[in-house]
Chain A
Amino acid sequence: ETLVKLVSQQRIEIQKLRQGNNLILGFSIGGGIDQDPGQNPFSEDKTDKGIYVTRITPGGPADVAGLMMGDKIMQVNGWDMTMVTHDKARKRLTKKNEDVVRLLVTRKSLEEAVKQSMGGFPRP
């Protein structure tokens, strides 16, 4: 059985939510060039130092916008995120003067996606 890797690129726009004095997106990130890429549970290539979505607040802005855990963030509002430090990425995402962030993400769904597309039969 061949596992086919499906990688899709998506643009996701997230409207920040005001929480007290903060604007939040409702997800957490991991990764960055200053982090140990081997610890990243989502990357296929264990030398990948990209920024990944590690958690999502259910019902939060990111969740609503369709961001998914494991998504790799390629760009934030046009800024490249594939070669940045963890903190740089965090700052790009949390600019106070931006209500909206536009993300370019890649999402891979390995065997599950393949099973779905090939098997064609929904599970109950």
Chain B
Amino acid sequence: MPAEVKQEQSPSNATSLAMMQEPQEVVEETVTIEEDPGTPTSHVSVVTSDDGTTRRTETKVTKMVKTVTTRTVRQVPLGPDGLPLPEGSSPLGSYTDSIDRRYMKNGNDRFITPQATSTLTRSYNNSYNDSYGETPESQYVRHYGLHDGYADLTDNYGSLSRGVNFRPPRYPYLPNSYRPENSYTLPIRKDDYGHVAQPQVPMGSSTVDLNRSQPERFQPEPYGLEDDRRSLGPEEEEPYELEPDYSTANRRTLPGANRGRTHREPLRDGPRIRGYPDDPIEAELIDERHPYIHGMYSAPLAQPERGSMASLDRMGGRRSPSIDSIRKDPRWRDPDLPEVIAMLGHPIDPVKSNAAAYLQHLCYENDKIKKDVRQLKGIPVLVGLLDHPKSEVHRKACGALRNISYGKDNDNKVAIKNCDGIPALVRLLRKTNDMEVRELITGTLWNLSSYEPLKMVIINHGLQTMTNEVIIPHSGWEHEPNEDSKPRDAEWTTVFKNTSGCLRNVSSDGAEARRRLRECDGLVDALLHALQSAAGKKDMDNKSVENCVCIMRNLSYHVHKEVPGAEKFQDPSALQAPGSVGPQRKKKDDAGCFGGKKAKEEWFNQGRKNGENDKNYDTLDLPKRTEPSKGFELLYQPEVVRLYLSLLTESQNYNTLEAAAGALQNLSAGQWTWSNYIRATVRKEKGLPILVELLRSDSDKVVRAVAIALRNLSIDRRNKDLIGSYAMRDLVSNLPSGQQRPAKNLEEDTVVAILNTIHEIVTDSSENARSLIQAQAIEKLVAINRTSQSARETKAASHVLQTVWSYKDLRNALTKDGWNKSHFQPTVTATPKATKNGKPGYDDTTLPLMEKNQDGYSTIDQRDKDCKYKASDVSVDLTEREPLKNDTNRKHYIRSNRPAVSLVDACDVKPQPVDSWV
């Protein structure tokens, strides 16, 4: 059974924390990971779900579960709960019936039979042969009697006997000693307490006999079992594993006499066998460990396949037919959930770890079971096991928590948090050096971080630990680098990926979260180092890089307002104007409801004024530093521009591209000195052509992020001129024409973003408006204005048209092309339409530029994951675009090539339609 690891991206995820976004719209990526038990390593492939909202990564794992979790409890063919029996009845069908009947008759007592108790015990039944002989009809006897008690203890130490893979220690791994048929499937009864003198049966012989006698039981069916290579590893050193007849349960039990007998008793004696409930001690033990005894039948049985799946043959790749027989044999069942959860509290460690591993397995992709585990109070027990000193125990517990924490059911995540699971995970992260455990811990934290209310909790308990234990060491960054040592590269480990994913999620939790991350010692430094290492090696498509860039983007959001000392860098010209805005920015809650229009306009005008001032920044020298920047200062140093541009040039990962563009967008927003530097630096680093080229991306969200970045960059007047000259056609080509959406079929948010960018570019620049006309945009804009189904698109197009018409020197040309004033006026219904989506003013282009929400918060389209950005499709002639810096030819370019306007009604515009109030 190849285990699978799943990664799933939860719904409203990863988006770009665009500068214009309000904090609550920050885009985050929530990735959750689910893993099957014993699937530490894996290859990941991306799978897109049908609805395009959930991405799953499935991993085929070659490594198998080490411990067998299959439990060999007697299975009743059809329980009172009506669960159907597994198909494929065994040859012993008739026998089964009789058992069933008896069970039914006995009611609760049926679980008192030795088999039942044997779930936790694996004692070896020395009298097996006898009883077997005596009661041929009860073949079950053989089952439980048998046991791998003496089998290879390394895997069988569990409370769950794994009927599979029985291997006498004497001949470990010798093929011929292996008896597939043997009753490994039998529940093991164990009355003997542990290593204490068990009646040992000479292993070889008895099993052999058994096997021979029951060959028909084994009916292999394809189950995909594989061996667990790890089982041969040195790690199995626990002492009990060396003990042949180790009994997992009942160890502290006492009078074994009775018990010793019982397990070999034929079924018909079942009810009496244990003396329950007459014997109080016995009863108590049973209550404690075998909750199923009382009405376990009312509890749902675990799905047979899942249970049996858990039993893996660890013998060198060989499958054990006995597993299959277990599955087929309707008389055997897997332990039910209350039983498994009860085993988590078993005094014997291997029982705990096996139970946890089995839980992990059961929970895999099964939301119902996860919920049941929660409701049965299994989660606090698992969390408690995280502090268990034995690695086998805390590892399995962690694996189970990782699966439970995965998925859309946030109640499971909350349950983990409510029993202090988060600090427990973090504590274990500090303590363990086991890479597998670290992967599980960080995977669980990643899952938990997808739920909003837990983000701050994770930050409070785990931020510095994750940074110190994972991010910094794996990033290659060193606090105080040794002069001789050469810089280390980042290692893209799973632990790093998980941890960066977790931080990516929590970084979207608002201003306080951003502050905490920015001020977390070493975090920004390490992330930046890792990204630079990625850029240096041209290894920029992986998930870790994506996570890092997303964190950087999120932390760059509102730096101009949020970093300590930001006020010292505020652009003085911005502060002068009354109503301009430094501090009166919107808070989180204000999203979408902007303040008075007057203030907005003033602010906007202010921004415009600053834009003009920006001409000067071309000559501005960057500030000289006496000491290197560190910590959050690194976020907005002009040096980062080169990194982001490098990512934008090289990465094929849409999320990375979006995030890198979003980072530039965030950094180029705002009225402070650093954003001025950033805007100028992007130009000087030849970033504008790179961004313009990305307007041709197939990815909606990349186009959107780039468009908004260009809008912010055009606050710099010189950038505005260049963008107007060279980006207009690419912007316009993304607009829908008439009733037809372009091939790209961009989302409304993207179209609105592009329209707003165009508006910004043509504002205060009749030259740019002329470029717009030359790009044949008027026809599209008029069409959007009149016929778009989207009120927001209509409104944004209308603003552009009004601005264009406001340039009187262009009207002549427009008229010659067949346009008249009516085309540039808002449609009658424009205003009311805007309220349609309940986002009044949301994309009002008169809003202050830097406060404006990026239209729409962007939700990641998972499908993008599958279709890589095709560089080949974007054949931009870079040499042609180089002249961005040199626009002397611009007018010439614009004058040529008049638009061929061919609107049908262009020359005969009918009067506005009648519109009557009723």
CA distance A68 to B829 in the complex (A): 13
- A36 contacts which chain B residues (CB < 8 A)? 910, 913
Please pick, from B837, B856, B913, the residue contacting A39 in the complex, using a CB distance under 8 A: B913
Number of A-B contacts (CB under 8 A): 99
| CB-CB nearest in chain A for B836 | A69
Q: What's the nearest-Cβ distance from chain A to residue B897, in Å?
A: 29
- B52 contacts which chain A residues (CB < 8 A)? 118-119
Contact present for A40 and B789 (CB under 8 Å): no
| Contact pattern, B 806-835, Cβ under 8 Å of A = 1, otherwise 0 | 000000000000000000000111001101
Q: Which of B1-56 contact A (CB under 8 A)?
A: 11-12, 24-25, 51-53
- A78 contacts which chain B residues (CB < 8 A)? none
Please pick, from B25, B53, B832, the residue contacting A121 in the complex, using a CB distance under 8 A: B53
B916 within 8 Å of A (CB atoms): yes
Please pick, from B786, B835, B918, the residue contacting A28 in the complex, using a CB distance under 8 A: B918
| CB-CB nearest in chain B for A37 | B913
Contact present for B12 and A123 (CB under 8 Å): yes
Q: What's the nearest-Cβ distance from chain B to residue A28, in Å?
A: 5
- B859 contacts which chain A residues (CB < 8 A)? 119, 121, 123
Contact present for A124 and B12 (CB under 8 Å): yes
Known: A1-B745, A112-B748, A119-B53. A29 touches B786 (CB 8 A): no
Known: A31-B913, A90-B918. A41 touches B24 (CB 8 A): no
- B24 contacts which chain A residues (CB < 8 A)? 124
Contact present for B832 and A55 (CB under 8 Å): yes
B905 within 8 Å of A (CB atoms): yes
Please pick, from B25, B741, B915, the residue contacting A54 in the complex, using a CB distance under 8 A: B915
Known: A36-B910, A41-B827. A123 touches B856 (CB 8 A): yes
B794 within 8 Å of A (CB atoms): yes
| CB-CB nearest in chain A for B50 | A118
CA distance A54 to B794 in the complex (A): 14
- A68 contacts which chain B residues (CB < 8 A)? 836
Q: What's the nearest-Cβ distance from chain A to residue B700, in Å?
A: 9
Please pick, from A25, A55, A56, the residue contacting B915 in the complex, using a CB distance under 8 A: A55
Contact present for A54 and B829 (CB under 8 Å): yes
A20 within 8 Å of B (CB atoms): no
CA distance A54 to B836 in the complex (A): 11
CA distance A69 to B837 in the complex (A): 11
- B790 contacts which chain A residues (CB < 8 A)? 112
Majority SS of interface residues in chain B?
Answer: loop
Q: Which of B730-751 contact A (CB under 8 A)?
A: 739, 741, 745, 747-748
- B794 contacts which chain A residues (CB < 8 A)? 41
CA distance A58 to B834 in the complex (A): 12
A47 within 8 Å of B (CB atoms): no
Known: A25-B918, A29-B915, A29-B918. A120 touches B53 (CB 8 A): yes
CA distance A35 to B828 in the complex (A): 15
| CB-CB nearest in chain A for B749 | A123
CA distance A112 to B857 in the complex (A): 15
- B856 contacts which chain A residues (CB < 8 A)? 123
CA distance A120 to B11 in the complex (A): 8
B875 within 8 Å of A (CB atoms): no
CA distance A86 to B915 in the complex (A): 9
CA distance A105 to B25 in the complex (A): 35
| CB-CB nearest in chain A for B592 | A124
B914 within 8 Å of A (CB atoms): yes
- A3 contacts which chain B residues (CB < 8 A)? 741, 745
Please pick, from A25, A35, A122, the residue contacting B12 in the complex, using a CB distance under 8 A: A122
CA distance A41 to B591 in the complex (A): 29
- A58 contacts which chain B residues (CB < 8 A)? 835
CA distance A122 to B786 in the complex (A): 28
Size category, B interface: 35 or more
Q: Which of B635-685 contact A (CB under 8 A)?
A: none
Q: What's the nearest-Cβ distance from chain B to residue A108, in Å?
A: 8
CA distance A3 to B790 in the complex (A): 14
| Contact pattern, B 411-439, Cβ under 8 Å of A = 1, otherwise 0 | 00000000000000000000000000000
- B25 contacts which chain A residues (CB < 8 A)? 124
A66 within 8 Å of B (CB atoms): no
Q: What's the nearest-Cβ distance from chain A to residue B878, in Å?
A: 31
Contact present for B917 and A121 (CB under 8 Å): no
CA distance A118 to B863 in the complex (A): 13
A104 within 8 Å of B (CB atoms): no
CA distance A123 to B748 in the complex (A): 13
- B910 contacts which chain A residues (CB < 8 A)? 36, 38-39
- B591 contacts which chain A residues (CB < 8 A)? 124
| Contact pattern, A 52-66, Cβ under 8 Å of B = 1, otherwise 0 | 001110100000000
Contact present for B915 and A30 (CB under 8 Å): yes
A74 within 8 Å of B (CB atoms): no
| CB-CB nearest in chain B for A117 | B51
A110 within 8 Å of B (CB atoms): yes
CA distance A69 to B832 in the complex (A): 8
B912 within 8 Å of A (CB atoms): yes
| Contact pattern, A 66-85, Cβ under 8 Å of B = 1, otherwise 0 | 00111000000000000000
- A94 contacts which chain B residues (CB < 8 A)? 918
B253 within 8 Å of A (CB atoms): no
Contact present for B786 and A24 (CB under 8 Å): no
- B787 contacts which chain A residues (CB < 8 A)? 41, 46
- A90 contacts which chain B residues (CB < 8 A)? 916, 918
Please pick, from B788, B789, B828, B857, the residue contacting A124 in the complex, using a CB distance under 8 A: B857
A111 within 8 Å of B (CB atoms): yes
Known: A25-B918, A123-B857. A30 touches B913 (CB 8 A): yes
- A112 contacts which chain B residues (CB < 8 A)? 748, 790, 837
CA distance A41 to B790 in the complex (A): 10
| CB-CB nearest in chain A for B26 | A124
Known: A54-B828, A119-B52. A35 touches B914 (CB 8 A): yes
Which residue, B739, B859, B916, has most C-beta atoms of chain A within 10 A?
Answer: B916
- A122 contacts which chain B residues (CB < 8 A)? 12
Please pick, from B51, B786, B827, B832, the residue contacting A120 in the complex, using a CB distance under 8 A: B51
Which residue, A30, A39, A90, A94, has most C-beta atoms of chain B within 10 A?
Answer: A39
| Contact pattern, B 821-863, Cβ under 8 Å of A = 1, otherwise 0 | 0000001110011011100000000000000000011010000
Known: A120-B11, A123-B12. A24 touches B918 (CB 8 A): yes
Contact present for B914 and A30 (CB under 8 Å): yes
CA distance A122 to B12 in the complex (A): 8
Contact present for A69 and B833 (CB under 8 Å): yes
Q: Which of A94-124 contact B (CB under 8 A)?
A: 94, 110-112, 115, 118-124
Q: What's the nearest-Cβ distance from chain A to residue B491, in Å?
A: 34
Q: What's the nearest-Cβ distance from chain B to residue A101, in Å?
A: 9
| CB-CB nearest in chain B for A115 | B747
CA distance A70 to B787 in the complex (A): 12
Q: What's the nearest-Cβ distance from chain B to residue A77, in Å?
A: 13
Please pick, from A1, A39, A93, A121, the residue contacting B786 in the complex, using a CB distance under 8 A: A39
CA distance A35 to B913 in the complex (A): 7
Known: A56-B832, A120-B51. A38 touches B917 (CB 8 A): no
Q: Which of B109-143 contact A (CB under 8 A)?
A: none
Q: What's the nearest-Cβ distance from chain A to residue B571, in Å?
A: 30
Q: What's the nearest-Cβ distance from chain B to residue A53, in Å?
A: 10
CA distance A27 to B836 in the complex (A): 14
Q: What's the nearest-Cβ distance from chain B to residue A52, in Å?
A: 9
| CB-CB nearest in chain B for A31 | B913
Q: What's the nearest-Cβ distance from chain A to residue B305, in Å?
A: 29
CA distance A29 to B591 in the complex (A): 32
5 contacts between A and B (CB under 8 A): A36-B913, A54-B829, A54-B915, A111-B748, A123-B856
A-B pairs, 4 with minimum CB distance:
A121-B11, A93-B918, A39-B913, A55-B832
Q: Interface on A for B, CB 8 Å cutoff?
A: 1, 3, 24-25, 27-32, 35-36, 38-42, 46, 54-56, 58, 68-70, 86-87, 90, 93-94, 110-112, 115, 118-124
Q: A39-B912, A46-B787, A123-B12 are in contact. List 18 more A-B contacts (CB 8 A).
A: A3-B745, A24-B917, A27-B918, A29-B916, A36-B913, A38-B905, A38-B910, A39-B910, A41-B794, A46-B739, A55-B829, A90-B918, A93-B918, A110-B789, A118-B52, A121-B11, A121-B12, A121-B53
